[in-house]
Each structure stands twice: as structure tokens, then as C-alpha cells.
A and B are shown apart, each in its own frame.
Chain A
Amino acid sequence: MNTTILIGAFAFWLAAWALNSWLAVQRPANVAAQRAIDLFVPVLFGVTLLVLWEGLARGFNIPTVLLPPPSLVWERILASSHILWADFQQTFLKAVLAGYAMGCGAGFLVAIAVDRSPFLKRGLLPLGNFVSALPIIGIAPIMVMWFGFGWESKAAVVIVMTFFPMLVNTVEGLQASSAIDRDLMRTYAASYWQTLFRLKLPAASPFIFNALKINSTLALIGAIVAEFFGTPIVGMGFRISAEVGRMNIDMVWASIAVAALAGSLFYGVVALIERAVTFWHPSVRGG
């Protein structure tokens, strides 16, 4: 046991905690300083977690097959970046993006079709809500059987997983415009498509983006878990399960770091687009 490292880590933790508590109750006059604090506090919290992890792993001499310290994981990321990049291409750029686009697109189009028929709306909404709560991930072995080991089967899982949240949210969103607005469109003699594009879709966009955000994490999970059921020798899910078997835990953490980064960026990009598109919505407008 290395006491100096342990004490250092704990001292850093306490100092960071004190600084954070102090910063959190500050109310600076200008907006820029407040923004900087709002950004700095969570970053410091994250850094503290990493320092604690590093300190505990090194201080207690935890075997690296159980919990490698972050510095080791970082070295591994640098050393095998070409493998991680190949995995990222296979899983994210092929399976996730293709499946996400097709699943969300299909859900969106079906929702618009369903919205025209009150009968389908009554019947499909409860079913869609029901299916969204099911462990859809279980279809992964079936998809692997049908579409083979390549990225196509993973994209198929992603399509099914992303379809229902998109369907349910879009159908709900298309009902979000108020009756008085729809009546106004009728007094303008607006056609169905004009009403759809000028009124219903803009009113539905907060719901649609909600589904897009939910789906961005679902898609990554679906693709990675589907790879557990059979895959060519590349892909993030394959890497994780294979390296766990060989007890190369630092490589597993490296893959996870890439997956986490990809997931966060994906979510962040969708959230940014949402801010740009639904700038009028109270949740975006009111700071």
C-alpha cells in the first residue's frame, strides 16, 4: 500500500470538494463569470473522480486486471489507436449511423401516415408505448441469424430499437398543435401539406428531438450488445467481450472510453441541432 499517493488523492478530493461548495454558492454579477463557474464545477468534479480513481488504484496496488488506473488506460488508447479507430468505424460509422437514420426515418414517416387516421392512432399508440418498454435488445440473436455477422445485422437491431420511441413521440407531437391554430390554418385554406409543414411539424419538433436524443444512446447500446452475439473480428462490442476474456482490462476501458466519448458527442450534436431548430420553445428560450 502506498500511503503518500492515497493521502495525496484524498487531500485533492477534499480540496476540490471545498472549492466546489464555495463556487456553487457564489453569485457573480456578470453573466460570463457565472457561465464559467457553471462549466468549471462539473469539470472539477469529473477530474476529482479521475484523480481519486488513479489514487485508489495506485495507492492500494489494485491489480491492473481488476481496475487499471486512468493513466494506464490513456497509454493504451494512444498505443492502439488504429484498432480503436477500426472498431469505431465498424460499429459507429456503419451500424449505428445507418440504423439510426433508417429507424428514426421509418418511425417518422409511419407516424405521419398514422396521424392521418384516427383509427390507427388509437390502435398503434398503446402498442407502441407497450413495445417501447420491452427488452427489444433480445431480438439481437435473431437479427444476427437473419442478416449474418456483418454490420447489417447490428443496423437491423438499431432500426427496431429506435423505431418505436420515434413513432410514439412523433405521433404525440403531431397532436401538440392546438385546435385554434389548426382552425386558423383552415381559414387560410391551407392544404394538408401546408398545415403539416408550417404548423404541425414545427409544433412537434420538441417531441421529435426528444426521441432523437433517447435514440442516440439506444442506438449505440443496441449495436454494441448485438455484437456480443456474433461478429467479424472488429467492432467495439467484439473488442470488449474478447478482451474481457483475455483479461486485458485496460483495452476494455479504452474501448469504453471511446464508446462513452462517441455516445456523448452524438447526444451533444443532436442537442445542439435541437437548440438551433426549436429556438422558440420555452425550455430553450428561458435560460
Chain B
Amino acid sequence: MSATTPIAAPGSGSGYRPEAGLTERFLASKAFAVSVIVLAIIAAWYAFAVHMNTQWQIDIYNRGNVEWTTTDLVRDTLNQARPVLPAPHQVAVEIWNTTVMMDPTSRRSLIYHAWITLSATLLGFVIGTLLGVSLAVGIVHSRAMDKSVMPWVIASQTIPILAIAPMIIVVLNAIGITGLLPKALISTYLAFFPVAVGMVKGLRSPELLQLDLLRTYSASRWQAFWKLRWPSSVPFLFTSMKVAIAISLVGAIVGELPTGAVAGLGARLLAGSYYGQTVQIWSALFVAAAMAAVLVALVGLVQRIVLKRMGQAA
């Protein structure tokens, strides 16, 4: 019962509730609430776009001595070539033109750039997950590692690694490691942390009773790990992997900023900001956001399948 329902409201104590109709259920659904808010955000965006681009548009009118009405102003502010804030449809058109309408191997195609970022993200994510899992296994099984490494795992994340990204990339380039790996290493550094912390929690999640039971079976440490600790840590693994893959993407994008901006979504952002191509920045941003959403959703899907096969589905 929510706090707003009066305690003495009819039926609130008895548990009686009239059957909710279709309309009522729809209005109370999450999807409806989310869509209304998304629509409100888009409307606000259009309003802001008109507001922020007005000054520039009026300057143009005055220079050209053009007579204008409010309708003209609204139409023109939403279709500038280099707006302060591009309208949503401009971004959508730009994304459409640079993905579907263009050869994916072209340097102007967003798919090409997205693929470069994605490959660094995935490589970093995989290395980071492996590193995180092995660290967690070590921490759970060795008291010395637990006491000495764990505080530093946590401390490592207070260092703004993204700030070091340019140096790591330049230094690795200088010793001959180029291409995918330097960016992937930044993703690794970011991704290993949530996995390590989550897995330490997960590997310790079996109850004492269960561990004792295995002891009475005279199970070895290896058997206890494989038959008890590992299966019970899988839900934790997937939860942390969702965080890890989102953060890997951030690492890959920032890793692309300093290296002379050749290719990748980060390079598109940087190039866009150099040449004032706001539409290009926003479209790169939206592609990055879509990629993050798809990656997280994919991990979630694998999680559901794996947990179901393991008989752990909620």
C-alpha cells in the first residue's frame, strides 16, 4: 500500500480491490509512463532548439534584411546547418544518412567508426572480466591477497584513469604497441573493478552451512570451488558484467580522444568539436548511447539464458 492511500479508504484493510480495467491497467503500466516522459523530453528539446538557435537566425535575417514571421523563425531555427542545439529530426536524419545510406567501409560512415570503438570495447571487456574473475578467485582463497590487494583494488578506482588515458596511449605507441590494444587496456582497467568486487561478493555468497556440508563430504578446495562457489557467484558475475561493459565503452571512447583523432566514435566527437559540427557530435553521441544500450541488453539476455539453464532463474 502506498503512503498516499488513506488507511481507512474503502477496502484498504480488507484486501478487496475492484478488478482493474484494460484502460486502467494501461495507464498504470511502466511503458505508458516511460513513453509519456520521453515524448515530453522530445517536446522540450524542440522548444530549447528554437530558443537557443533564435539569436543566430535573427542575426541572419537582419543581415539579409529579410521580413520574417514567427513561423519562419521556428522553421529556420530547426533546420540550421550548424545549430547551437540541433533538432531531434536533424540528428535522426544525420544518423540515417551516415549509417544506412552509406557504404560501411567508408570513413564517413558511422558504422565504420562504431565498429572500431566496439572492437576495442569488447576486447577490453573480455580482458577486464578475465582479470577481475581471477583476482577475485585469488582474493577469496588467499588471506594475504585479500588483505593486501583488496584495498588497492578499491583505491585504484579513485584514480581518474580516464585522465591518464592519453599518456597510456602515447607511451604504448612509443614502445610499438598501437591500434586496438592501448584503447582496450583503458577499458580493461575500468572493467576489471566491478567484476572483481562483484565476484568476491559472489564467491563468498554460499552460506557457512553449505561450505560445512561439502567439508563433511571431504570435498577438496577445488571441488568446493567448482561445485559450490562458482555456481552461486554466476548471478553476481552477470550483474557486474553489465556495469563493466557500459564502462568499457566509456573507456574506449575516451581512449580515442588523444591519439590525433583518426577513427572511432571518440574521434568523431573530437573532430565535430573542432569544426563546430554539432549535428555530427550529437549523432555520434546517440550512436554511442544506442551501442551502450544494446551491449547491456545483450549481457542481460545471456544472463537470463544462462541462469535459466542453471535452474536459477528468478
Interface residues in chain A, defined as those with a beta carbon under 8 Å from any beta carbon in chain B: 17, 20-21, 23-25, 37-38, 41-42, 44-46, 49, 65-67, 118-120, 122-124, 126-127, 130, 133-135, 137-142, 144-146, 179, 182-183, 186, 195, 217, 220-221, 224-225, 228-230, 236-237, 240-241, 244, 249, 252-253, 256, 259-260, 263-264, 266-267
Question: Is B185 part of the binding interface, using a Cβ–Cβ cutoff of 8 Å?
Answer: no
Could you give 27 example pairs across A and B, Cβ below 8 Å? A20-B147, A25-B143, A25-B144, A38-B147, A45-B148, A66-B171, A119-B36, A123-B30, A123-B37, A134-B289, A135-B289, A137-B253, A138-B253, A139-B285, A141-B281, A142-B273, A145-B84, A182-B3, A195-B3, A217-B158, A240-B163, A240-B167, A253-B167, A256-B163, A256-B164, A260-B160, A263-B158
Number of A-B contacts (CB under 8 A): 171
Known A135-B288, A142-B281, A260-B158; further 9 A-B contacts with Cβ < 8 A: A45-B148, A123-B34, A134-B288, A138-B284, A221-B161, A228-B257, A244-B166, A263-B160, A266-B158
| Binary contact track B142-168/A, C-beta < 8 Å → 1, others 0 | 011011111110010111111110110
Contact assessment for B3 and A260 in the assembled complex, using a CB-CB cutoff below 8 Å:
no
Contact assessment for B273 and A221 in the assembled complex, using a CB-CB cutoff below 8 Å:
no
- A90 → chain B, closest Cβ, in Å? 14
The contact of B147 among A42, A46, A230, A264, by CB within 8 Å, is A42
Contact assessment for B249 and A260 in the assembled complex, using a CB-CB cutoff below 8 Å:
no
Contact assessment for B148 and A20 in the assembled complex, using a CB-CB cutoff below 8 Å:
yes
Residue of A nearest to B250 (CB): A135
Contact assessment for A134 and B292 in the assembled complex, using a CB-CB cutoff below 8 Å:
yes
Question: Is B258 part of the binding interface, using a Cβ–Cβ cutoff of 8 Å?
Answer: yes
Contact assessment for B33 and A66 in the assembled complex, using a CB-CB cutoff below 8 Å:
no
Which chain B positions have C-beta within 8 A of A241? 166, 258
Give Cα distance in the complex from A71 to B293, angstroms: 44
Which chain B positions have C-beta within 8 A of A44? 148
- Residues facing A in B1-30 (CB within 8 A) are 1-4, 7, 28-30
Give Cα distance in the complex from A146 to B2, angstroms: 42
Given the known inter-chain contacts A24-B148, A42-B152, A263-B159, please indicate yes or no for A66 contacting B175, CB distance below 8 A.
yes
The contact of B162 among A144, A183, A225, A253, by CB within 8 Å, is A225
Which chain B positions have C-beta within 8 A of A123? 30, 33-34, 36-37
Contact assessment for A141 and B269 in the assembled complex, using a CB-CB cutoff below 8 Å:
yes
Interface residue SS majority, chain A: helix
Give Cα distance in the complex from A24 to B146, angstroms: 9
Which chain A positions have C-beta within 8 A of B7? 183, 186
Interface residues in chain B, defined as those with a beta carbon under 8 Å from any beta carbon in chain A: 1-4, 7, 28-30, 33-34, 36-38, 84, 143-144, 146-152, 155, 157-164, 166-167, 170-171, 174-175, 242-243, 246, 249-250, 253-254, 257-258, 265-266, 269-270, 272-273, 276, 278, 281-282, 284-285, 288-289, 292-293, 296
Which chain A positions have C-beta within 8 A of B250? 135, 137
Contact assessment for B155 and A264 in the assembled complex, using a CB-CB cutoff below 8 Å:
yes
Residue of A nearest to B2 (CB): A118
Which chain B positions have C-beta within 8 A of A253? 167
Contact assessment for A122 and B281 in the assembled complex, using a CB-CB cutoff below 8 Å:
no
Give Cα distance in the complex from A146 to B85, angstroms: 9
Contact assessment for B152 and A230 in the assembled complex, using a CB-CB cutoff below 8 Å:
no
- A252 → chain B, closest Cβ, in Å? 5
Contact assessment for A135 and B160 in the assembled complex, using a CB-CB cutoff below 8 Å:
no
Give Cα distance in the complex from A157 to B97, angstroms: 29
Residue of A nearest to B1 (CB): A179
Which chain A positions have C-beta within 8 A of B281? 138, 141-142
The contact of A142 among B171, B278, B288, by CB within 8 Å, is B278
Contact assessment for A41 and B147 in the assembled complex, using a CB-CB cutoff below 8 Å:
yes
Give Cα distance in the complex from A221 to B152, angstroms: 19
Residue of A nearest to B163 (CB): A224
Residue of A nearest to B38 (CB): A127
- B297 → chain A, closest Cβ, in Å? 10
Which chain A positions have C-beta within 8 A of B34? 122-123, 126-127
Contact assessment for B144 and A21 in the assembled complex, using a CB-CB cutoff below 8 Å:
yes
Give Cα distance in the complex from A230 to B272, angstroms: 13
Which chain B positions have C-beta within 8 A of A142? 273, 278, 281-282, 285
Given the known inter-chain contacts A133-B296, A135-B292, A137-B250, please indicate yes or no for A221 contacting B269, CB distance below 8 A.
no
Which chain A positions have C-beta within 8 A of B151? 42, 45
Give Cα distance in the complex from A241 to B157, angstroms: 20
Which chain B positions have C-beta within 8 A of A252? 164, 167
Contact assessment for B269 and A259 in the assembled complex, using a CB-CB cutoff below 8 Å:
no
Closest 6 CB pairs of A and B: A141-B273, A123-B33, A42-B151, A45-B148, A122-B33, A123-B37
Residue of A nearest to B159 (CB): A260
Contact assessment for A42 and B148 in the assembled complex, using a CB-CB cutoff below 8 Å:
yes
Given the known inter-chain contacts A127-B37, A141-B272, please indicate yes or no for A46 contacting B249, CB distance below 8 A.
no
Give Cα distance in the complex from A38 to B146, angstroms: 10
The contact of A217 among B28, B157, B242, B270, by CB within 8 Å, is B157
Give Cα distance in the complex from A134 to B290, angstroms: 8
Give Cα distance in the complex from A33 to B131, angstroms: 33
Which chain B positions have C-beta within 8 A of A38? 147
Given the known inter-chain contacts A135-B253, A142-B281, A217-B160, please indicate yes or no for A126 contacting B30, CB distance below 8 A.
yes
The contact of A146 among B3, B84, B146, B269, by CB within 8 Å, is B84
Give Cα distance in the complex from A46 to B229, angstroms: 30
Contact assessment for B166 and A138 in the assembled complex, using a CB-CB cutoff below 8 Å:
no
Give Cα distance in the complex from A241 to B254, angstroms: 13
